[in-house]
Structure 1
Amino acid sequence: MLSEALSSIAAEAGVAVVETAGTDHWQLFGEQVACWLARGKQAERADLARLAKTEAALRTAIDSSSRAVAARHAMVWQERFTAVLEQLSADERHPAAAQLQRLVRDHASGDAPAGAAPGVIAGENVRLQADHGSLVVGVANGDVHFTSPFRPGPAQG
């Protein structure tokens, strides 16, 4: 099982696939994702085909089902990224995750359609934490439980 940080990177990459599909960045991003997934093996062609299917599904989704389709595809890609990271040795895992994170960051697209996919898609517990005076905001479709409410320190009043 991956650490929370590595699972988060896999989730971000899954969302990035969905958000980038159909944009001007899609072809290059898809090729780089397939290359990352292949890790020097021959699976790249199969991953390119899977990416093409994702793009087609997102393009043809009807408005009322587009969020569900986007969420499903983001989860599929998150699982794919997670599986690749889990197969790597401990020494390979963190550099590969850092490379994936850079790939996602470098190809982040600001022109994804509004509402195409939520920023975080999770099938299990999610922990959002703000520190150093920052703020975390999110939309939850399900139960929400709060622990340890914020109490300002002496320096903060």
Structure 2
Amino acid sequence: MLAETLTALATAGGTAVVQEAGTALWEETRARTARLFGRGDAHRERSELEHLDATAAALAAPGRPDAAAARVQQEIIWQTRFEGLLESVGDAERAALTEQLRALVAQHTTAAAVGRIEITLNTFSGPTAVQVGDGNTQEATLGRTTE
């Protein structure tokens, strides 16, 4: 049985694979994931590429009424696969695979954060305007005007 931290990492890996499918980062994520599972074996890596392609195809089906359920199902599949991989190797290889999986998750986390601004732990008492970005111009009048 894996430690909680490795289970959480496997969960994050599953989420990364599914959320990257069909995006501009998919090819890189696909290749890194296949290398991670292939562990230097070209045949195993090709097999993993097929699994990844099947995932992308399952998620890309147009007009799926159960798209959210399909995403969850694929995340569970990949989490389980990552867990199985980490459980199937010795301590030394597990440490190396863990680092590769962390790098994959970090790439996904960084990519997901681009373009996202988060404002937390603020209290606004009355009308409020928030603007972020570079080179923005905005005129805002809060409250009543006296024209």
TM-score (norm 1): 0.66
Matches within 5 A, 1:115-154: none
Tell which deviates more after alignment, 66-75 or 36-45.
36-45
1:110 to 2:121 alignment: no
Measure, in 2, the Cα distance between the counterparts of 1:62 and 1:13.
26
How far 1:91 moved relative to its partner? Answer: 2.5
* AA at the equivalent of 1:66: A
The structure showing larger relative contact order (alpha-carbon pairs under 8 Å, at least 6 residues apart) is: 1
RMSD over aligned Cα atoms: 1.9
How far 1:106 moved relative to its partner? Answer: 1.5
Aligned residues: 112
TM-score (norm 2): 0.70
SS of the residue 1:43 aligns to: helix
Report what 1:93 is aligned to. 94
Unaligned stretches of 5+ residues in structure 1: 112-134, 136-157
Unaligned stretches of 5+ residues in structure 2: 114-120, 122-147
Measure, in 1, the Cα distance between the counterparts of 2:12 and 2:24.
19
* AA at the equivalent of 2:35: C
Measure, in 2, the Cα distance between the counterparts of 1:101 and 1:9.
7
Q: Displaced runs of 4+ in structure 1, greater than 4 A? A: none
Retained in 2: the 8 A contact 1:61–1:69?
no
Measure, in 2, the Cα distance between the counterparts of 1:91 and 1:47.
22
Larger radius of gyration: 2
Percent identity of the aligned residues?
A: 35
Measure, in 1, the Cα distance between the counterparts of 2:105 and 2:60.
21
